[in-house]
Structure 1
């Protein structure tokens, strides 16, 4: 039940000014916290005692007449867990009624706190009010379980505690436990599992402080009280478990205190930009190839994992502790799987071995049905002790045989996650241990490298039941390749998923695909796997980024690009295995890596590569075959179209004669017909303008624009914007700038110039702010293009304002700065030069690059924009004004220098 009262602080003099004491004490504590390392005295205890001192001094300053109330700390204040920006939850407890002078007491107590910037959660309640509320509101009951007397009448708090014990807890205990379970699921849905996230919620995420509070409430609802050590002992846990919990909670509090201090407000989400500063103040520095912030995040995740595991065990969920009242069944084997839990039952004095530990996980993976059994807490702790420094007792063949059995069990994710938690997986695969805590602070990856690896395996396993197409079908049709067979199959993909990012554990992880392939070859050979499987896994690891990089950065209408992919993969079966790995890797990275756009690009590349592998001209998934077939289909549609008036054969023939082959290959007949309708409207607008203006001025700024959703209806997250205009200087750059000005992110852009001088640009962008008024929105975008092209809109000035509102936080910029990079390649295409630009993301970056290319008299024919968190990887296919590739070395050097200046100058 509620904690014992905190003793008075020695030396307290009631004649001191309470407000002055509070102000000076708070300032000193904040200064000490900012300078302290992780082993400093817990800030929250000292802060809570400072507030206790204030309330006692303040109550004494008010004189007599207040001895019939009790100041009771509840919630975090009651637990003495106040962080710098925590709410001060204080209850003024009265006997049978709230006295008339309550308002005067409230003003005297609380106004100084409000003046000092504190946030208060306060109220006046009678003992009966508290009991009634606790009987119906579980949140109120939870807060009262943490009640602690600060000042005033002890008898009032004792009376409330007694009534709760007698009237509420016996009747509401079961419902309260169910509420705790419901809250657990709600927290998981709302805040995720903090033990794996790069930006965990330190309070509400799983493994956060709420899991610790859950332990305290569970103990107190059972009528137990005392210190954490006493509570743990009463529940059957060891003193070592209690120490582990205390250390983990202390560390978590230390992080949360500094998070509040750096945020300057109440904040429980550990955002990336604040992590370097917190890591430094807590004594984490770069060491052994790991950044200090990576070492810090690894320690935090392990602490949260321990809290999460103890909370689950304390509740008695499957995997809870084997208590003295329910001993292990007496069986010959040391491993017992029963009731959804795995128990390692050994006689007293007998320690677990690495071999028995590994065999335990193999048996858990082989469980016949139902959820994967979970380790009970005692087993988890015994395993961790058994593994330390003894993994070398296992041979490579033993390890390989066991891990292959686990990977092919359809329970690999659940089992490997538990192996990771006890330290077995890092011990068996040192390369995994080296990469486990690696973090890419790019806003793109949602998990550290180790957990991302496990999630990649999970994505593959889920394809067997409810995965997206075509990957679910590919997985079902892929041969198993298990059982020691020499033929590659699903086993190759699962092994590649396990190894694909292990190269990130090396000090130089810039080419982690190559180093990861070397690791895979060495380890799999030591495991004794057949050479074809080793070769296949090595290939998959080395090329696991090939398909996504090509799909997101290259012009898939260029046969040379598709032919290069087809040449690398070699055959359909290997392409399908690489597709499976690419999907699992991207979807396990996070929502910014896998979305409808990424899926559609990968599917397009898949179709075209299959066509190339079948020796069929790679004309695109939606084309009707050759260019001639497409043109014939367009003529038919134009003749029989239901539009008013119809285009007619002559107009259609003129348009078709003006279209370059690359345009015809890139678009299906229906889209081409729609573009012809837009081109006819553009011609009509130009003719009308020429009646009023001379030809040069008449055409400038005239555009025809259409925006339509790519997937589904107006609520689609991806829109295609088509713009037609007369070809004119700076058109592409202007379009890119206007799109950015209206808050849209660009995924890709295609630029075509017909032989009649019609410029056609297609942008794939994010959805309009309000899709219900999309027509009005695109009308504003069209007007902005016209104004910018005719000098009525200062595009540079407007975009500069947008840039000023979005600045990468200095802490993250300085801790993880990566310079911009420009690569030029003339070998990727037979028709144009490919320029890759890698730079920190910012508004209108595409505009800056396009304007720079324009100033160098280069035509942008194609652009793809991949935003990887806070960095972009943008690709541009360009030609000179004469329609040639860039071959002059001096010109190329000038292009590189100009682009680097453009992307780094703001």
Structure 2
């Protein structure tokens, strides 16, 4: 038996009293509320029904507010008190707003002004920070011209009311007077769509909003408001009786609402404030409080978040159908327009002509998606057809349980028009997860890091969407050569299958690439693909990270690196498929991850590997021949610009031979022509955009060499607000340096102005560079939750007489500048650097020598290790081994 409010709220005297006693009343009321909240918190942790907890807290607050009203306004005739908004709805979470309406005529309001001020001050002192409005019925009509005000008023619940006040308020907000039901529906639907757009139209981000995000509690509230305004019912079960919801749909909405409400209740407890976003600050603590434990395959926080994402997806799916039914209620059904195969368009929505469709037949469902794909004018799925599909969802067999003809239907969808759209629709409607059970396992699955900003299933759909961009056949500025590679694909559907399966084994433990390749192989074999095609798809899934890792972590200007990669790929066909899959995968991981620099990096690796495959893998071209080839290419380009051979050769003599194998011809032309602006022994700083529409910049610095130069450049770029993605450090003739940096704006003050950046660098390098210090930066909130011990590794590069430093550390603003400062203080020279960042992880490599260009001794290594750890972990105990 649930306790009555008196069991939770201690007795607080509520008789009218002199204001002098208000402080004591407020203190007692505050203590009583804290006692009640503590009891509710314990019951929450014991797993009590969330609806009961919300109702109990509402009744507790009701009692205190009613006591305060009687204390302050017992003799005030003509005033009434209503709970409105979420409080009026009876949903009071631990830190929810308490919205109140005082209803009374203007002269009564004026006479009671002091008493009302006393009431609201008393509530605040009691720990009830109420928001309030004081209006007459006529003023309510005026205010309700704003539909958000109307929404709060239509849920008004009486607390202390005079006779006839409730009826007066109902008349003031009646649809016959203001906001007819259809107008209100259209306004709330538009509000919902705009709210979804504000969140990127996806609930699948790292820190979702439980209340206002797509599929959140606000979506459920919106459906309730529409039903209340249109039909006068405020209960889901009533919509079942009216025929707008099925019993299964109503049960699903109640179930998912309970999941979302429980998360929100717990979030308020953990955050100790009205927090609605599942921020990293609270996710782990909330998961622990709600009983989600880590296991071998998944973190507890990942399990909790997967539950949220799945609930949000169900809410969105059902709310889409219900919104359409409301629309049909207002606008009526239109005459069907047949589109073939037993389907018609009804007001633009695709509908099955047979009211009993799909008769438990998966083949009929695939026929629906095929019709949808070839009918571009479809607005969506008709609500009754969508309901028929939803009712059969649990009965849809997996691909292993049907005959070959049905599996061929699925493959036909991949080969048909708008295949990417078809897969996205199947995923959103739940069909894809039934057909491929492994896909259902990653539905809503998040990874607790900053690298993957979408759940696995949403990321997969993003990858497929990018493949759809390639298939359009048009040049896209984000993917410079994808439109040239795409037409070479022998069977584009194989790339779709690779994209579909590339991450499907995440969360199972083990290598997801290897496990996913096994899944892909089984799927392709079952669907009748040839051994050649099956091998290709499985290989792509198994190797889908290889090109990205090679491009970002290795030196792709090194002939040995290129030949190893080309040897792994083995053929031009596999290279084409892998290149496109890699581009789609990186760009589908995070909106911020793909940029012009990564586009060019992958294109460079693609062309280098293609050349290696064309020339043969037995023997890489000697470096001297590569230099001669590059010089010839650059010479022709410079001749085309009008430069004489003598001038060209003079510029070549000032450039290191290594630059001709490390840079593309057009970069070398830019460097060579830029050097004409400076006399021998001078300093040159040049910056340019990597691509016309990109914010990525390439920065070239030529200068007499001196200790601390690398650190000075890095620290200056950092102070200017730029993040370094790549650094190429070369020694030139006559003790000069040829340093190239590829950077992107990381701060709002980095405006991309190349002239300003050049001036800033020239000014810094003209002074005493040894006095430069890294800027102090605040670590972003999200990064604080992903700390881990840095890893430092030293490797000898005997060929070049250098020591390679591999550093893996938590990323943060100014990290590279701090590391460069340590290297300078240790009197070390940076001969080359590779910079890579993956979410919260920085994985950087430096080729180092001492001041005499010799590899580091063991003593120097240990000193560097200690200095780096002191910089990266200032709180580390000295002598702590790492």
Short-chain TM bin: 0.7 to 0.9
| Corresponding residue to 2:411 among 389, 401, 404 | 404
The answer to whether the 8 A contact 1:34-1:281 is kept is: no
Could you say which residue in structure 1 is the equivalent of 2:592? 592
Q: Measure, in 2, the Cα distance between the counterparts of 1:570 and 1:824.
A: 32
1:312 partnered with 2:320: yes
Could you say which residue in structure 2 is the equivalent of 1:790? 770
Q: 1:567, CA displacement in angstroms?
A: 3.2
Alignment CA distance shift 1:319-1:102 (3 Å): closer
Q: Measure, in 2, the Cα distance between the counterparts of 1:62 and 1:905.
A: 58
Could you say which residue in structure 1 is the equivalent of 2:658? 662
Could you say which residue in structure 2 is the equivalent of 1:871? 841
Q: 1:533, CA displacement in angstroms?
A: 0.7
Q: Measure, in 1, the Cα distance between the counterparts of 2:76 and 2:824.
A: 79
Residues 503-902 of structure 1 aligned to structure 2 (within 5 Å): 503-508=505-510, 511-615=511-615, 626-630=630-634, 656-665=652-661, 666=663, 668-677=667-676, 679-680=678-679, 683=682, 705-712=685-692, 717-767=695-745, 769=749, 771=751, 779=759, 783=763, 789-791=769-771, 793=772, 795=773, 799=775, 801-802=776-777, 805-806=779-780, 812-813=785-786, 820-821=790-791, 836-850=806-820, 859-877=829-847, 901=869
Q: Measure, in 2, the Cα distance between the counterparts of 1:631 and 1:363.
A: 56
The 3-state SS of whatever aligns with 1:192 is coil
Range with bigger deviation, 416-425 or 239-248: 416-425
1:698-730 Cα shifts (integer Å, max 9, x gaps):
xxxxx65444444448xx522333334332233
The 3-state SS of whatever aligns with 1:723 is strand
Alignment CA distance shift 1:723-1:332 (3 Å): closer
The 3-state SS of whatever aligns with 1:202 is coil
The answer to whether the 8 A contact 2:501-2:541 is kept is: yes
Range with bigger deviation, 581-590 or 829-838: 829-838
The answer to whether the 8 A contact 1:566-1:609 is kept is: yes
Alignment CA distance shift 1:535-1:332 (3 Å): closer
The 3-state SS of whatever aligns with 1:802 is coil
Alignment CA distance shift 1:824-1:309 (3 Å): same
1:196 partnered with 2:204: yes
Q: 1:499, CA displacement in angstroms?
A: 0.9
TM-score normalized by the length of structure 1: 0.81
1:187 partnered with 2:200: no
Q: Measure, in 2, the Cα distance between the counterparts of 1:312 and 1:409.
A: 26
| Corresponding residue to 2:458 among 451, 460, 464 | 451
Could you say which residue in structure 1 is the equivalent of 2:441? 434
Could you say which residue in structure 1 is the equivalent of 2:267? 259
Range with bigger deviation, 873-882 or 218-227: 873-882
Could you say which residue in structure 1 is the equivalent of 2:63? 53
Q: 1:435, CA displacement in angstroms?
A: 3.2
What residue ranges of structure 1 are gaps of 5+ in the alignment?
A: 1-6, 482-487, 642-647, 684-702
What residue ranges of structure 2 are gaps of 5+ in the alignment?
A: 16-23, 875-882
Alignment CA distance shift 1:754-1:318 (3 Å): farther
Q: 1:498, CA displacement in angstroms?
A: 0.8
Alignment CA distance shift 1:31-1:244 (3 Å): same
Alignment CA distance shift 1:95-1:244 (3 Å): farther
The 3-state SS of whatever aligns with 1:99 is helix
Range with bigger deviation, 290-299 or 361-370: 361-370
1:817-875 Cα shifts (integer Å, max 9, x gaps):
66544567889999977665332112333245446666888653333322222112324
1:310-362 Cα shifts (integer Å, max 9, x gaps):
322222269999x99999999999987755556678888x9953645754555
1:217-243 Cα shifts (integer Å, max 9, x gaps):
211221422433224433432344323
Q: 1:456, CA displacement in angstroms?
A: 1.4
Q: 1:530, CA displacement in angstroms?
A: 0.3
| Corresponding residue to 2:122 among 112, 129, 132 | 112
Could you say which residue in structure 1 is the equivalent of 2:873? 905
Could you say which residue in structure 1 is the equivalent of 2:14? 15
Q: Measure, in 1, the Cα distance between the counterparts of 2:343 and 2:712.
A: 69
1:61-110 Cα shifts (integer Å, max 9, x gaps):
12433231122222222222333443332221113655323431331122
Q: 1:631, CA displacement in angstroms?
A: 5.5
1:666-706 Cα shifts (integer Å, max 9, x gaps):
263442235424652853xxxxxxxxxxxxxxxxxxx6544
Q: Measure, in 2, the Cα distance between the counterparts of 1:258 and 1:173.
A: 35
Q: Measure, in 1, the Cα distance between the counterparts of 2:863 and 2:560.
A: 24
The answer to whether the 8 A contact 1:659-1:755 is kept is: yes
Could you say which residue in structure 2 is the equivalent of 1:27? 34
Could you say which residue in structure 1 is the equivalent of 2:498? 496
Alignment CA distance shift 1:682-1:310 (3 Å): same
Alignment CA distance shift 1:221-1:653 (3 Å): same
Range with bigger deviation, 780-789 or 861-870: 780-789
The 3-state SS of whatever aligns with 1:129 is helix
The answer to whether the 8 A contact 1:410-1:461 is kept is: no
The answer to whether the 8 A contact 1:198-1:447 is kept is: yes
Q: 1:57, CA displacement in angstroms?
A: 0.9
- Considering only aligned residues, what root-mean-square deviation do their CA atoms show, in Å? 4.5
Alignment CA distance shift 1:536-1:782 (3 Å): same
Q: Measure, in 2, the Cα distance between the counterparts of 1:722 and 1:477.
A: 31
| Corresponding residue to 1:371 among 364, 373, 378 | 378
Alignment CA distance shift 1:549-1:637 (3 Å): same
Q: Measure, in 2, the Cα distance between the counterparts of 1:407 and 1:729.
A: 59
Q: Which has the higher contact order (CA 8 A, sep 6+)?
A: 1
Range with bigger deviation, 838-847 or 411-420: 411-420
1:150 partnered with 2:159: yes
The 3-state SS of whatever aligns with 1:626 is helix
Alignment CA distance shift 1:462-1:722 (3 Å): closer
Could you say which residue in structure 2 is the equivalent of 1:271? 279
Q: Measure, in 1, the Cα distance between the counterparts of 2:595 and 2:622.
A: 25
1:545-588 Cα shifts (integer Å, max 9, x gaps):
23333333333433333333333333433322222212221222
Q: Measure, in 2, the Cα distance between the counterparts of 1:872 and 1:320.
A: 54
Q: Measure, in 2, the Cα distance between the counterparts of 1:537 and 1:752.
A: 41
Q: Measure, in 2, the Cα distance between the counterparts of 1:316 and 1:337.
A: 14
Counting matched residue pairs gives 846
Q: Measure, in 2, the Cα distance between the counterparts of 1:618 and 1:147.
A: 82
Alignment CA distance shift 1:418-1:298 (3 Å): farther
Alignment CA distance shift 1:148-1:734 (3 Å): same
Q: Measure, in 2, the Cα distance between the counterparts of 1:248 and 1:597.
A: 43
The answer to whether the 8 A contact 2:597-2:742 is kept is: no
The 3-state SS of whatever aligns with 1:294 is helix
The 3-state SS of whatever aligns with 1:721 is strand
Residues 283-432 of structure 1 aligned to structure 2 (within 5 Å): 283-287=291-295, 289-316=297-324, 341=349, 353=360, 355=362, 359=366, 362-371=369-378, 373-374=380-381, 376=383, 379-380=386-387, 383=390, 387=394, 391=398, 394-395=401-402, 397=404, 400-421=407-428, 423-432=430-439
Q: Measure, in 1, the Cα distance between the counterparts of 2:808 and 2:327.
A: 47
Q: Measure, in 2, the Cα distance between the counterparts of 1:102 and 1:773.
A: 62
The answer to whether the 8 A contact 1:398-1:527 is kept is: no
Q: Measure, in 2, the Cα distance between the counterparts of 1:892 and 1:513.
A: 39
The answer to whether the 8 A contact 1:748-1:763 is kept is: yes
TM-score normalized by the length of structure 2: 0.83
Range with bigger deviation, 237-246 or 136-145: 237-246
| Corresponding residue to 1:213 among 217, 221, 238 | 221
Alignment CA distance shift 1:178-1:346 (3 Å): closer
Alignment CA distance shift 1:361-1:286 (3 Å): farther
Q: 1:524, CA displacement in angstroms?
A: 1.6
